[in-house]
Structure 1
Amino acid sequence: MVSVALHRCRAAHPEDPTPCGGPVVVTVLDARGAGADGCEHHAARLLASLHRGRVCGLPHAAPGTAIRVFKTADGIRPFCWLDGPRTESSQLSHRENRAR
């Protein structure tokens, strides 16, 4: 079992062992509109794991924050904290799938 910090942003998956990468600055929304506020690091990892997700900057975020998270998520594999071979398109990043 991996020990994680007790206070992390809401976008951090319970099984993702990484710490937050800064303040909460965006909201990640799933295809149905349910959302979680998060730091750029966890927001990108969450967005990469969602089908048809989107990201919105919070009012206090610096300009360009949401697009930076979106671009970062493009190169992250879904549920990137899980080990194992990745061969199916659903297991690859959007960038990897476009390169196929």
Structure 2
Amino acid sequence: MSVERRCPAAHPEDPTDCVGPAVVTVLDAVNAGADGCEHHGARLLASLESGRVYALPDAPHGVAIRVFKAADGIRPFCWADGERTEPSQLSHAENRERHGR
């Protein structure tokens, strides 16, 4: 029986599979980080306050900006159920839309 491994950026409670290999490093405000696939990198970045994303050395061109742009529309901890009404529970894009920016 084989156990499928997911990238380090995949949150233990996030049920989704990786989409491709690890191609980015996502860092939090104190420079703790995790490498991840584009999918989990974006989901992690969306869940961090003051997070940053960097392409790994052998990553495809433009991957960091794709992850950054994807994270903009993802709600923090998007796999968690429940009503989301507070700004900290909404995506950056939703907050901009709410506040007319």
5+ residue gaps, structure 2, are none
Q: CA deviation at 1:6?
A: 4.0
Q: How many residues align?
A: 96
Query: Offset at 1:31?
Result: 0.4
**Separation (CA, whole Å) in 2 of partners of 1:79 and 1:39:** 17
- How far does the alpha carbon of each residue in 1:12-51 deviate from its partner, in whole angstroms, 9 at most, with x for none? 0000000001110000000001110000000000000000
Unaligned runs of 5+ in 1: none
* Match 1:68 to one of 66, 69, 76: 66
Q: Which has the larger radius of gyration?
A: 2
Match of 1:35 among 33, 36, 39: 33
Give the whole-Å Cα distance in 1 for the aligned partners of 2:34 and 2:49: 15
**Structure 1 ranges of 4+ moved more than 3 A:** none
* Identical-residue share of aligned pairs (%): 75
Whole-angstrom CA distance in 2 between matches of 1:15 and 1:62 = 28
Where 2:84 maps in the other structure, the secondary structure is: coil
